[in-house]
Amino acid sequence: MTPNVPGPLSGLLVLDLCHFLAGPYATLALADLGADVVKVEDPEHPDEARNVGPCFREQSVYFESLNWGKRSLAIRLSTEEGRETLLALVGNADVVLDNYKPGVMAKLGLDHDSLSVVNPRIVSCSLSGFGSTGPEAKRPGYDYTIQARTGVMSLTGEPGAAPGKAGISYVDHSGGLAAALAVSAALVERDRTGRGRHVDLGLYDVQMSMLTYIAAWNLNGGYTPARQPSGSHPSIVPAQTFETSDGHVSLFIGNDPMWQRFCGAVDRPGVMDLPAYRTNTGRAENRPVLVSALQALFLESSSQHWVNLLSSAHVPCEEVKSIDDALADPQAAARSLVVSSVDSRGTEFLHTRGPVPLDATIAGRPAPILGADSREVLIDAGLSGELVDDLIARGVVIDGLARV
């Protein structure tokens, strides 16, 4: 286990009112940077990720992968007393992050205006599908549907085949990163002004931003790329996957000197080093013939052969690995990107690191069972032990440890 070292966000209290992926990934990033993240769930409507398969231990491994390093408070937000108890925590908190549909936090009396009455320094962030304004504000938005709505699916997959989805939920993950960035920026602003702010962020917003050069091509040049075979780049050639004798490699030749090094490494005079191929413009104009010749070349040897040969020539080339191989990669081990968290009972949970692998960081605890830290969190907030016992006895607060 990595030793506990205070991270850059150490001392900050974050209340996480999130579910599924995007919001929990944002607060996971904050937790891994040292913040004390308290996952707040209503036991009548807990995070549905707790039930997502296919793998379960004591609880869903999907849920565990997004909520390690956090504490759990189970409190009935449907009750006035539950909401008042949560507001007592807000008085000592720095951040409240939710990914409810727009309007839910206001209905609960937990919108930014209500929070700032209790704590003017509070930073709040709401991460939803489309944000809280515009004609689609009330429309649900998920990774799958946002990939479709923003045009990304139209560019994914083979030409002539059905549109494809990215292999991971990158809309949710990038949305979570954007939320963590926005919160961090708002905290810096608060240190300057003395007041917090609300951030209204949509997954749609983040994905539209990530269109970058594709949007610029369309808006300024009237050009939109179509799906390309083998995931090839629309204008840089060759930059795509190639089949080898035992798998596939991903090749990226980003400039003409790189192409010259490639030709020197493969040593096929008169085949690869033709004058027509010496510039990217020429390679793009002759793409079908060049790609066909390259494919025949790569089929001659194994993926590892090509990676070794081209890497020695400083040409970017990687084997298309399985998830098993990726997790066992020596580079991942050297960067401590797969770590172990162990709880007080000695239960170990293996997981990937947070997205910013700083040296000063914490070895997060495994994801908590529902309400595991309710008593501790409320007493830390200044509530008396007698009051906490009464809230637990009346079911306003759930003590998860009492059920263990």
| Contact criterion met (CB below 8 Å) for 228 and 157 | no
**218 assigned to some structural domain:** no
> In this structure, are 88 and 131 located in the same domain?
yes
Confidence at 403, pLDDT banded by 50, 70, 90 = low
Establish if 325 belongs to a structural domain: no
Please tell me which residue in 172, 205, 373, 399 is annotated as part of the active site. 172
Task: Tell me whether residue 246 is one of the annotated catalytic residues.
Answer: no
Identify whether residues 56 and 170 lie together within a single domain.
yes
For residue 262, tell me if it sits in a domain.
yes
Tell me the percentage of the chain whose pLDDT exceeds 70.
96
pLDDT on residue 363? 56
Residue 345, pLDDT above cutoff 90: no
- Is 3 part of any domain? no
Stretch among 40-49, 182-191, 350-359, 361-370 having the lowest mean pLDDT:
361-370
* Tally of CB atoms within 10 A around 148: 14
Regarding whether 265 and 117 lie in a shared domain, the answer is: no
CATH of residue 253's domain is 3.30.1540.10
Instruction: Report whether pLDDT(2) > 90.
Output: no
Number of domains observed in the structure of the chain = 2
Residue 367 covered by a domain: yes
DSSP of 63-125: HHHHHTTEEEEEE-TTSHHHHHHHHHHHTT-SEEEE-SPTTHHHHTT-SHHHHHHH-TT-EEE
Place 358 in a pLDDT band, splitting at 50, 70 and 90. confident
For all residues of the chain together, what is the average pLDDT?
A: 94
- Asked if 184 and 239 sit in the same domain, the reply is no
Q: What percent of the chain has pLDDT over 90?
A: 90
Q: Which among 214, 301, 211 is positioned nearest to 265, based on CA atoms?
A: 301
Which one is predicted more confidently, 381 or 363? 381
Q: Minimum mean pLDDT among 127-131, 286-290, 306-310, 350-354: which range?
A: 350-354
Q: Is the pLDDT of residue 361 over 90?
A: no
Between CA 165 and CA 30 the distance in angstroms is 28
Same domain, 34 and 129: yes
Same domain, 261 and 399: no
How far apart are alpha carbons 238 and 249 in whole angstroms? 12
Asked if residue 163 belongs to a domain, the reply is: yes
**307 with 350, same domain?**
no
| Tens-digit pLDDT profile for residues 212-268 | 999 999 999 999 999 999 999 999 999 999 999 999 999 999 999 999 999 999 999
* Domain carrying residue 286: 229-243+248-319
Q: What is the mean pLDDT of residues 334-346?
A: 84
Q: Which CATH number do you get for residue 26?
A: 3.40.50.10540
Domain identity same for 103 and 142: yes
Answer positive or negative: Cα dihedral of 253, 254, 259, 264. negative
Question: What confidence tens digit (pLDDT) does each residue in 151-180 have?
Answer: 999 999 999 999 999 999 999 999 999 999
pLDDT given for residue 344 in this prediction: 66
Residue range 265-285: mean pLDDT, rounded = 94
Q: How confident is the model at residue 365 (pLDDT cuts 50, 70, 90)?
A: confident
CA distances from 2 to 163, 361, 363 (A): 42, 8, 5
pLDDT at 275: 94
Question: Considering 289, 319, 349, which residue would you say is the last residue of a domain?
Answer: 319
Q: Is 244 helix (H, G, I), strand (E, B) or coil?
A: coil
Which of 319, 353, 371 is the last residue in one of the domains?
Answer: 319
| 377 falls within a domain | yes
pLDDT beyond 60 at 1: no
**Whether residue 17 is found in the same domain as residue 63:** yes
Whether 151 and 233 share a structural domain: no
Final residue of a structural domain among 319, 350, 381? 319
Is the torsion defined by CA of 23, 27, 28, 30 positive or negative?
positive
Give 359's pLDDT tier (boundaries 50, 70, 90): low
Is residue 145 located within the same domain as residue 59? Answer: yes
Quick one: 306 and 390 in the same domain? no
pLDDT of residue 348: 87
- 221 within a domain of the structure (yes/no): no
pLDDT for position 360? 45
Output the pLDDT for position 76: 97
What integer pLDDT is reported at residue 211 of this predicted model? Answer: 97
